Amino acid sequence: MSDTPTNEPYFDPELYPGAPDEAEAKVALRDVNVAEAQREEFEASVDEPQPSYDDGSDIPTPAEAGKATKPKYIVIGDNLVCQTSDGELSFPLRFKTKLLRQLGTFRDLDETDQLFWLLENVGQKAVAERLEELDVFETLGIVGEYFRQFEKRAQAAKGESSGSQSS
């Protein structure tokens, strides 16, 4: 053995009876060095400034954090269900063709008025009344989502009907 110092650890099996061979000892030493480097990196990061929660944002209590939050908009069955500032509202995405044809005669109505007309004509007057009491931007968001979901269903129906004709 040379007296020249090296970066490799010296392993003398006679000093450590029952110890693994030299290759296994080198791997174990490398793992220890990696673990020490990770620990040092972690300790250095602990000294870094942590984010402050004193910015006025609401931090949920443990009880609130455990509760699952419902999505703002979700389609369940044939209804668009919306979480609003006034609670949950459900809007039908399925109705009779005669209503769609009648609605088509009111081409001058914007989407908001179309949705109110539709709700009143499918027996959802109470939903229309609650929708009318919401903030205008919340209502516009719901109207936009309703017609996006309606269009998705219409496109899917067209795709199904054209696909079935090609068979």
Q: What's the pLDDT at 69?
A: 75
Token digits of residue 36: 């020490």
Q: What is the DSSP string of 6-65?
A: -SSPP--TTTSTT---HHHHHHHHHHHHHHHHHHHHHHHHHTSPPPP--SSPPPPPHHHH
Q: Which residue has the higher pLDDT, 158 or 23?
A: 158
* Model confidence band, residue 105 (pLDDT cutoffs 50, 70, 90): confident
Averaged pLDDT, 149-164 = 78
Quick one: pLDDT at residue 129?
93
Q: Give the pLDDT score at 89.
A: 92
Q: What rounded mean pLDDT belongs to the chain?
A: 76
Token pair belonging to 29: 């030493």
Q: According to the per-residue pLDDT averaged within each range, which of 4-18, 68-82, 96-110 is highest? A: 68-82
Percent share of the chain, pLDDT over 90: 25
Q: CA 80 to CA 73: how far, in whole Å?
A: 7
